[in-house]
Amino acid sequence: MSTRHVVIETGLGPITIVAMGEAITGLYFRRHVRRPPQETFGVEIGDATDVLLNEAVRQLCDYLAGRRTDFDLPLAAEGDAFQHAVWEIVKSVQCGDTTTYGRIAERVGDRALAQRVGQAVGSNPLCIFVPCHRVVGSTGALTGYAGGLKRKQALLALEEPPAGDVGRLF
C-alpha cells in the first residue's frame, strides 16, 4: 500500500494528513506530541491528484471554517484493542459536547482505567478526525492535548454551541 501525505496551512498552523492505501492513518501538527518520524509519512502530495487526501483536506477545512461538525472519511489508526475501544468512544462524542477520561473508562469497563484511557487518548494518531480535544478532566478543566492546549482550546471554542444552547457533558 502506498503511504503519502499532504501538508496544509491552517489557522492552527501546518497540519500533516497521512494516508495509506485507501484510508487516512494520521493527522499531525508540526510540534505534535508522539509525532512519528517524517520518513514514515511517505511521499508528499503537493497537487490535486490524490482523491482521498483531497477529500480529507476539504472536510478538515470545512470543519475549521465552521461548515462541518463531523467527518466521513475511511480511517485506519494503528493501535491495540484497548486504544481502538477508547477511540471509538471518542469518535461518538458529538461536536459541541465533551466527555471525561473517567466516563470513557466507565464505558470500557472500569473507572480505575482512567489513566490508561488518558494514555490511549494521547496516542490518538487521528486528532481532530477522532476528536480527542473533546475529552477533558473530571472537573471540566482542559488537560493534555497532543497538539498543545492552545489548539485544544481553539477547537473547543470553534465547537461552542450557540448562545442559549448549553450543550451537554457526554
| Residue 22, amino acid | E
The set of cell numbers assigned to 160 is 461552542
Find the helix or strand (DSSP H, E) in which 6 lies. strand 3-10
DSSP 20: E
109 torsion bin: left (phi>0), alpha (psi -120 to 50), beta (else): left
Active site residue 132: yes
Sign of CA dihedral 106, 86, 30, 95: negative
Nearest C-alpha neighbor of 77 from the set 137, 130, 146: 130
Q: Which residues are catalytic?
A: 132
